[in-house]
Chains A and B, each alone.
Chain A
Amino acid sequence: MRLPAPNALVGGTLIGFLGIVAAVSSVWTPYDPLRLSFRAKLAAPSATHWLGTDEFGRDVLSRLMAGAATSVWISLLTVALAVSLGTVIGLFSGYVRGWVDRTIMAFNDALLAFPGILLALGLLAVVGANKYGIILALGIAYAPSVARIVRGTVLSLREREFISASRVMGNSEGFTMARHILPNCIAPLTVLATSMFGWVLLAESSLSFLGLGVPPPAPTWGNMLAGSRPYIGQAVWLGIFPGLCISLTLLGINLLGDALRDKLDPRMRGAR
């Protein structure tokens, strides 16, 4: 058996670790991430608090762990929403063709003309800045790129022999779509969904950093960083660890994404 590529190995390890931490934190954290302790305010990393405490004396490690769970859940749900929404739109548009398809795709492409985070900001202004608002806003903001890929796959496949064969056999259009066209979308969608997980996690952290994401006291890496700003001169650890967590996660996703693209995109095979 060949060893996996080094970028897949490192990326997989980082993301696997993130998954484990997120899972563990939902049942156990060293301290209650929300418990205040004014005696242990702004304590430097030590044996009792490995990564120190924040301005309210809350344990940073526990908050980082709880933040991991929040970020992973939000990102997973958002990607799921974007992929399902985009797939339905793409399949429908590619299937009906004609002017309906052209209109849908014109709107789709115009939405792609907004930078993703901008569209999310605009939608947040409408749906309200909270956990569900973020999922909805980012899910809608990232759906158009999915729709584009799915529609492209539908159009490129629908005249192929195996699709006509399925029709000739008397299968319904819906069955043909689900059984023969959809599976061919999975490879490109996997690559896209992996990168998207990274984009969404970054967008969620950015929004939380701006104060438009998950509202405090619930910890997320983004709002922990935002909270660290006034104290960064005296409590460096507050500004270091949450950023490190975001960066390592994004690094993991980027490496994993590269590895997946090398494997699934035949044009890049051999180019490494």
Chain B
Amino acid sequence: MLRFALTRILMSVPTLLIVSISVFGLIRLIPGDPASLMLGDLATPASIADLQARLGLDQSVPVQFGIWFGNLLKGDLGQSINSQQAVLPLILQRFWISAQIVLVAVALASLVAVPAGVLAAWKQDTSLDLSLVAVATLLLSIPTFWLGLLLLLFFGLKLEWLPVVGYVSIAENPIAGILYLIMPIMTLFLHEIGVILRMARASTLEVLRLDYITHARAKGLTESAVLWNHAFKNAFGPTWTLIGLVLGNLLGGIAVVETVFTIPGLGRLLVDSIFARDYPVIQGCMLFVAFTYVLVNLVIDLCYPIFDPRVTAQ
């Protein structure tokens, strides 16, 4: 177990390193002097020269990367051109807003979709299975930004049950905060049900065809014991991995939902920075999301042995 965990943790180190190199390289692909880009149009020659020296631009590219990576390890992602704020605190503040939406939506979706998917597989080819798959495929096909717009139209403008757009911090005003978050969470929740249900169904189907399930049934176990004690444990693996991927993908793709509901989250920060050519923030957001993605998948993998001890075997 320990060996498995250590190997898995060590394996993510090169990935993180290459992710950093890619993001470092991406910004260098933009024509022009990186220091002028980082400081924006209003920079003075003196401040450009100062930053050039700090970034080590007169030295070789590997040295530049070393300086940059060293700052990264210290948590220094530079300064926003627009707000002059340090990038990392800015990102963390926005990340919290996006993370609460994504985490709640994915947790709720998993609670609904995993049992529904297992049920569909168990009742394969019945009308229940067909309708569950149809609903899931439909939900999966509706882009989140349209689903959000429809919810906004219906619950916000027609029924006037929920506030239409905006964001209030839960810490400041818990009730209003929750009301503003219901629709964005519901949007992602509905969409992810489709994704997770189909995976849970497919992986359960694969397991249900194996011999040990026939054996369990032949032993005279009840169907629910076969399904939950024998099939589910083995079938849950791929779905669990998918949930990790979904979490990371949502962080990258949440900008559209934040745009629909005017929520100042991480996705919106990235998009606004692209419009404003605020390169330090763009770079910071990309690094932050990619690192989070790798770490989420690492945690997901480390939890894997809890329900499937086979992965720790060599």
A residues sitting closer than 8 Å to B (CB atoms) are 106-107, 109-111, 113-118, 121-126, 129, 202, 205-206, 209-212, 225-226, 228-229, 232-233, 236, 239, 242-243, 246-248, 250-251, 254-255, 258, 267, 270-272
Other than the given A110-B14, A114-B289, 12 more pairs (CB < 8 A) read A113-B15, A113-B293, A121-B286, A126-B27, A210-B259, A239-B146, A239-B153, A242-B146, A243-B149, A251-B137, A271-B205, A272-B124
Q: How far is the CB of A214 from chain B (nearest CB, A)?
A: 15
Q: Which of A109, A121, A246, A267 contacts B274 (CB 8 A)?
A: A121
Judging by beta carbons under 8 Å apart, are B253 and A205 in contact? Answer: no
Interface of A is mostly: helix
Which among A113, A117, A126, A209 has the highest number of chain B CB atoms within 10 Å? A113
Q: Which of B29, B138, B286 contacts A118 (CB 8 A)?
A: B286
On whether the beta carbons of B143 and A202 are closer than 8 Å, the reply is yes
Q: What is the bound-complex CA distance between A267 and B30, given in angstroms?
A: 46
With A109-B15, A111-B22, A122-B23: A129-B274 Cβ-Cβ less than 8 Å: yes
Tally of A-B residue pairs with Cβ under 8 A? 137
B251 in contact (CB, < 8 A): yes
Check if B206 is an interface residue, CB within 8 A of chain A: yes
| A29–B36 CA distance with the chains assembled, in angstroms | 47
| Residue of B29, B145, B157 most packed against chain A (CB within 10 A) | B145
Given A113-B19, A121-B271, A254-B141, answer yes or no on A271-B209 (Cβ-Cβ < 8 Å).
yes
Instruction: List chain A residues, Cβ under 8 A from B202.
Output: 271
Assuming the A-B contacts A117-B253, A210-B271, A271-B209, are A205 and B286 also in contact, with contact meaning beta carbons closer than 8 angstroms in the complex?
A: no
Minimum CB–CB distance for A126 against chain B, Å: 5
A242 contact set on B, CB distance < 8 A? 146
Q: Give the chain B neighbours of A125 by CB distance below 8 A.
A: 26, 30, 274, 277, 279, 282
Known: A121-B270, A210-B256. A225 touches B293 (CB 8 A): no
Q: List 14 A-B contacts (CB under 8 A).
A: A110-B18, A110-B22, A113-B290, A114-B22, A117-B252, A126-B26, A129-B274, A225-B149, A242-B146, A250-B140, A250-B141, A254-B137, A271-B206, A272-B125
From A245, which residue of chain B is reached at the shortest CB distance? B146
Contact of B146 among A210, A247, A251 (CB under 8 A): A247
Of A121, A126, A246, A254, which is within 8 A of B140 by CB? A254
Interface residues in B266-287 by Cβ distance below 8 A to A read 270-271, 274-275, 277, 279, 282, 286
Q: CA separation between A123 and B25, bound complex, in Å? A: 11
B31, chain A: closest CB distance, angstroms: 9
The answer to whether A247 touches B274 (Cβ under 8 A) is no
The reply to whether A209 and B256 form a contact with Cβ atoms under 8 Å apart is yes
Interface of B is mostly: helix
Query: Is B249 located at the chain interface by the 8 A CB criterion?
Result: yes
Query: When the two chains form their complex, are residues A246 and B146 in contact, meaning their CB atoms are under 8 A apart?
Result: yes
| In the complex, chain B residues whose CB is within 8 Å of the CB of A202 | 143
Q: Which residues of B contact A (CB under 8 A)?
A: 14-15, 18-19, 22-23, 26-27, 29-30, 124-125, 137-138, 140-143, 145-146, 149-150, 152-153, 157, 202, 205-206, 209, 248-249, 251-253, 255-256, 259-260, 270-271, 274-275, 277, 279, 282, 286, 289-290, 293-294
Check A114–B293 contact: CB distance below 8 A. Answer: yes
- The 9 A-B pairs with the shortest beta carbon distances in the complex, nearest first, are A115-B252, A243-B146, A110-B18, A118-B252, A251-B141, A250-B141, A115-B249, A247-B142, A125-B274
Find A209's partner among B124, B145, B293 (CB 8 Å cutoff): B145
Q: How far is the CB of B4 from chain A (nearest CB, A)?
A: 20
Give the distance to chain A from B277, nearest Cβ to Cβ, in Å: 8
For the complex formed, measure the closest distance between the CB of A272 and the CB atoms of chain B, giving whole angstroms. Answer: 7
A5 CB to nearest B CB, Å: 13
Q: Are B157 and A233 touching (Cβ within 8 A)?
A: yes
In angstroms, Cα B95 to Cα A148, docked, is 31
Whether A243 lies near B150 (C-beta < 8 A) is yes
Query: CB distance A225 to B145 under 8 Å?
Result: yes
Report how far A211 CA is from B270 CA in the complex, Å.
13
Known: A107-B18, A123-B26, A232-B149. A205 touches B141 (CB 8 A): no
Of the candidates B146, B282, B286, the one whose C-beta lies within 8 Å of that of A225 is: B146
CB distance from A59 to the nearest CB of B (A): 21
Q: Does A110 contact B286, Cβ atoms closer than 8 Å?
A: no
B251 A115 Cβ-Cβ under 8 A: yes
Residue from B23, B275, B290 within 8 A of A211 (CB atoms): B275
The smallest C-beta distance from B48 to any residue of chain A, in angstroms, reads 20
Within 8 Å CB of B140, what residues of A?
250, 254
Q: Which residues of B contact A111 (CB under 8 A)?
A: 22
A270 to B124 alpha-carbon distance, docked (Å): 12
> Quick one: closest B residue to A210, CB to CB?
B271
